[in-house]
Structure 1
Amino acid sequence: MKRVLILMGLCVALISTSCQSAKEEKEVSSKLLVTNPIIMDTTIIRDYVCQIRAIQHIEIRALEKGYLQKIYVDEGQTVKQGQMMFQIMPMMYQAEMQKAEAEADFAKTEYLNAKLLADSNVISKNQLALVKAKYNKAKAELSLSQVRLGFTEIKAPFNGIMDRFQVRLGSLVDEGDLLTTLSDNSKLWVYFNVPEAEYLNFKTVSNSDNMKNVRLLMANNEVYEHPGVVETIEADFNNETGTIAFRATFPNPKALLRHGETGSIQMVVPLKKALIIPQKATYEVLEKKYVFIVGKDNVVHSREVVIRSEMPDLYIIKSGLKPEERILLEGIRKVRDGDKITYKYQEPKSVISHLQVYTE
């Protein structure tokens, strides 16, 4: 009798547990939502590593040999076009110019005397021509000495910012020695490489301001306040990387940006007929993305999908999913591959409208 009572108790417990499980399964199933991918035109923001270059960045070199006598500027200083920067000891070149001036004056006097004699038919015109040639040679040598003396004064060729000095006061510099560099940072040229497919997209909609206007994400992860404009594309592709270089021009009124900085260009790229799903419809295993496909028999099957691009709350699918296939939207952690479910279908437009997204 005791054994019968025990068996009856076990049966009651099993029936109670079974009923409870069925009730829980029914509650879980009623919460599952299913939807479809949606196909729509949209835009994404692409980041490209870039290099920032001044529109003019040149080396300032010595044009003549001599001792560096004076330095009129400082490292990092802003200079104006024509401002004196360096003075190489000019004494030898001044002496050469004075000598050339004296020889030019002497040749001029000879020429004027010879001209008077030629006018009086005392000497021939050929003799006058020889004296005149000597005078012209003396003037040319004077001009050359003046130019060489001018080379001892090194002036700023344009408005810009000085870089580090490569020599110090009193240094003996030779012709062609590097003194410093000068950068015109009033505008910046920013270079970045674009893959071939995206280059073709750009050329297809090259009249779009969204493609021409770009933003610069600086090294501190802040967006530069002034937008840039894509003005130039290089002629050839790099066959090793499959990219082509773009150049965007950015204004720099506050001189915040400097030559040699790095950052990222942010370009708005249009996508036609993109296949889009909510991010919450996916799960990750070993850095791969998966979704649950709901079959006609209401059985779910796990499938890997390849993400083309990411947007806020959305993924743009590259492969692994068809537009007509239904995917599990909620309850992903409650099911396993091969489970049969009951679900409620929700239109993809309705799903997306409840997400914080930026689409067009």
Structure 2
Amino acid sequence: MSSCSSGNGKNANKEKLVNIPVLELKSRDIEVPKTYVCDIQAVQFVEVRAKVEGFVDRIYVDEGQFVKKGQTLFQLTSNEFNEMVNSANAKMMQARAEAKSASLEVERLQVLVDKNIISSSELELAKSKRAVAESIILEAESILKNAKTGLSYTTIKAPFDGIVDRIPYKTGSLVTAGDLLTNITDISEVFAYYKVTENEYLQYMREKMEEDSVGLKEEFEDDITLILSDGMEYPLKGKLETMEADFERGTGSIAFRVRFPNPDQLLKHGASGKVQMTNMLEDIYLIPQKSTFEIQDYNYVYMIGKDNKVVVRSFRPMQRFGVYYISDGFQEGDRIIFEGIQQVSDGMEIEPSPVTELEAYDTLSTSN
């Protein structure tokens, strides 16, 4: 009777074990997209400012118009500068005439000295006057050059091919030196600047050095995606070109620069968006978020031992990937409770129900 009673007790305990879905972890290699907020800037952006004071006489372009390098944009009143050029020209002509007269005087005295009619001192005095006249020519040339430069500043031309921005001053407006007349932007291509942390920078540099050591080029450098502010993907891919020299104080981040072609001029200077890059992670484990719980900023899962007993274990996620945590702190063959974590506790024995990879991963969203 005692033996029968003991056997029935064991069967009763076995029947009381809770059947819980259990997932066996396997390492895998995955491509993880990651996005960074970026600032979009034109490859060339120049403020066109007045260099001299004057009234806006004519405006040859309109806002939003495409202009070519050297094309005239604005004309300021130039009467004053024209007079300065005319005055400088007159002084130049006078200086040359005086220099020519001084040269003729030297030649005349040279003949008289050669015939011993006059002393050589008079000739030396004439040569000194000629040197003074020649120096006056140089001074006049400098004044004329400055006058012409000032006159040229009254005609404002495009520094390169680009698009005209807003024109705040209209015809007849008085502008002073330094006033902003407009901006010219070249958006045939654009730069997207985004910031990464120091750890991400170190990871990128190590991968780059590893690729360079075997003579390979990182594929993602020429395959960077831009997500526009409306959530749509920009159709053309970008190329990672360079980075800043220093880390930003306070944030500890450093900016990378990506160049995107912009043949249709869809992207504008000052726009915003997100740069999306794809990183390859090797030998990592995907932990479903519904298999985890969090206590005071620490993440935990329920591990299943060989005796089918539950053991609480903490882990540190590398990052989130859709409805998963990515971690490298597990081993091949580790078993965790897939779902139903509310029904178990530490040290509890369960009846494991294996979950396939198809059930655990392929039926769940992996969108980032």
Instruction: Identify the residue that residue 215 of structure 1 maps to in structure 2.
Output: 225
TM-score normalised by structure 2 residue count: 0.79
Mapped to 1, the partners of 2:250 and 2:295 lie a distance apart of: 32
Q: Counterpart amino acid of 1:42? A: I
Q: Give deviations 1:7-63, integer Å, cap 9, x for gaps.
A: xxxxxxxxxxxx9xx99x89x83xx54222222333311111111111211211111
Instruction: Identify the residue that residue 126 of structure 1 maps to in structure 2.
Output: 128
Instruction: Identify the residue that residue 58 of structure 2 maps to in structure 1.
Output: 70
Instruction: Identify the residue that residue 241 of structure 1 maps to in structure 2.
Output: 251
Which of 180, 183, 190 does residue 181 from structure 1 map onto?
183
Structure 1, 333-342 or 347-356: larger mean CA deviation = 347-356
Q: 1:205 to 1:329 in 2, by over 3 A?
A: same
Which of 326, 331, 334 does residue 325 from structure 1 map onto?
334
- Report how far residue 242 of structure 1 moved: 2.0
CA contact (8 A) 1:218 1:264 kept: yes
- Report how far residue 65 of structure 1 moved: 0.8
Where in structure 1 are there 5+ consecutive unaligned residues? 1-18
Aligned residue pairs: how many?
332
- Report how far residue 200 of structure 1 moved: 1.1
- Report how far residue 313 of structure 1 moved: 5.7
Q: Give deviations 1:225-271, integer Å, cap 9, x for gaps.
A: 11111111111112421211111111111111111111111112232
Q: Give deviations 1:320-352, integer Å, cap 9, x for gaps.
A: x6655311235x278343664322435769955
Q: 1:218 to 1:287 in 2, by over 3 A?
A: farther
CA contact (8 A) 1:274 1:317 kept: yes
Instruction: Identify the residue that residue 211 of structure 2 maps to in structure 1.
Output: none
Give 1:277-356 correspondences, 5 Å limit: 277-279=287-289, 281-282=291-292, 291-300=301-310, 306-311=316-321, 314-317=324-327, 324-330=333-339, 332=340, 335-337=343-345, 340-345=349-354, 352=361
Mapped to 2, the partners of 1:211 and 1:97 lie a distance apart of: 55
Instruction: Identify the residue that residue 261 of structure 1 maps to in structure 2.
Output: 271
Mapped to 2, the partners of 1:218 and 1:231 lie a distance apart of: 20
CA contact (8 A) 2:291 2:341 kept: no
TM-score normalised by structure 1 residue count: 0.80
Matched, 1:100 2:108: no
CA contact (8 A) 2:102 2:127 kept: no
Structure 1, 264-273 or 110-119: larger mean CA deviation = 110-119
Matched, 1:45 2:33: yes
Mapped to 2, the partners of 1:225 and 1:121 lie a distance apart of: 84
Instruction: Identify the residue that residue 158 of structure 1 maps to in structure 2.
Output: 160
Q: 1:51 to 1:97 in 2, by over 3 A?
A: same
Q: Counterpart amino acid of 2:163? A: I
Give 1:10-29 correspondences, 5 Å limit: 29=19
Percent identity, aligned pairs only, is: 34
